[in-house]
Amino acid sequence: MRILFLALGCLLITACASNPTTLFEEQVKNSTTPLARTPSEAMHNTQAVPMPIDPGWRPPQWKITAAEPRILINGVPSNYRLFSVVLIKGKPFHIDVNSWCVNSCLGFSKFALNPYLILMDAQGNVQAEGFGKATGIVGVISQVLKGTVKSSGTYYLIVAADNRAPGETIVIDNVLLMGAAASPIAPLRIGMGSYPFGSVGPLLNTEEVP
3-class secondary structure, 24 = helix
CA distance 126 to 199: 24
| Average pLDDT, rounded, for the chain | 87
At residue 79, does pLDDT exceed 50?
A: yes
Domain ranges of the chain: 2-204
Find the mean pLDDT for residues 68-87.
98
Whose CA is closest to 42, among 70, 64, 78? 70
What is residue 207's predicted lDDT score, i.e. its pLDDT? 85
- Each residue's pLDDT tens digit, 127-140: 999 988 888 677 88
CA distance 9 to 4: 8
What is residue 177's predicted lDDT score, i.e. its pLDDT? 66
What is residue 62's predicted lDDT score, i.e. its pLDDT? 98
The number of residues making up the chain comes to: 210
What is residue 98's predicted lDDT score, i.e. its pLDDT? 94
At residue 159, does pLDDT exceed 80?
A: yes
